[in-house]
Amino acid sequence: MPSPRGLGKGLDALFQEKITRDVEKKDTGYVEIDITQIEPNPDQPRKFFSEESIDELSKSIKSQGLLQPILVRPIKGNRYQVVAGERRYTACKKVGLKKVPAIIVDLTDEEALIVALVENLHREDLNCVEEAKALKQIKESLALTQEELSTKVGKSRSHVANSLRLLNLEEEILDGMERGDISAGHGRALLGIDSSEHRIMAYHTILKKRLSVRDVEKIAEYWKRKKHLPSYCNVKGSKKRQDPSQKKIMDNIKSNFQNFFGVSIGIRGSIESGSISIRYSSVSELKAIMKKIGLDDNIGENVSHETMENRKDT
């Protein structure tokens, strides 16, 4: 049986007292709930989780059990909805656990959303666009000023302001940041170019010429003086705007790919033509992707053998 543990730094202080009070009403701080009575949160801010991380957690749960209870709230029909710990819940389902240790708290829809958002904000692997969108959602849900928001989520006011400013960038650029094609620093530098068309041109120049953040800052400074970009930035990107209905279709396709592979996916172009990129961050993730599409995933041994041969030659 797992022992009660702290709820973690991700839970907003706004609800910590309420949650603690609810937990203290119970003898152990948690109860065991039939996993068939629990359902995921449809408004979960994190849309996909790494398959590798789920696999690793599943192995840990199988050998040691779930060490930290998930946080749930009661909903209609004697059922419960995950508030925090959806990755743990998913891993428990994968292992086949019949019952899951959980802490039950009474939260409104808005409170549950805020807790989930704040928990996700403290994830180490949250990318800058996901963080910015989460911050914006909290700000709008509670009608907060930036200063109030920074206090609530435990981040500096300048960090919150810089993060929210990224959402002023074009969708194409935001997609590039989510894929990791450019960094948040590149994005902030692009904001110095107060022209959507020129920002897109500069963005394509970054991709083509692999520019540093400092390079982009120089381009932005040049634009402020001249109101046009340096000649080497005349890299043409797609000027055709995607209509809303097609964008929704492409977003659904992207979501399906991400759920299937369990990693970040980038899609460029339209239904008629384009490209799909798969981003992985480890050899095991690459192997999992190759296995899913029916390719030989024996890359570790091949790479090691090739490396040894190259060392012999040198």
Give me the active site residues, please: 86
Question: Six-digit token pair at 121?
Answer: 């904000």
b/e map 4-26, b = 16+ CB within 10 Å: eeebeebbbeebeeebeebbeee
Name the percent of the chain in helix, strand, coil, to the closest 5: 55, 10, 35
C-alpha distance from residue 314 to each of 300, 301, 308, 309 (Å) = 21, 20, 10, 9
Residue 101 · residue 30 · CB < 8 Å:
yes
- The DSSP secondary structure of 254-308, one letter per residue, reads HHHHHHHHSS-EEEEE-SSSEEEEE---SHHHHHHHHHHTT---THHHHHHHHHH
Beta strands 79-84 and 70-75, pairing class: antiparallel
Nearest-5° Cα angle at 138, 133 to 142: 150
Residue 182 · residue 173 · CB < 8 Å:
yes
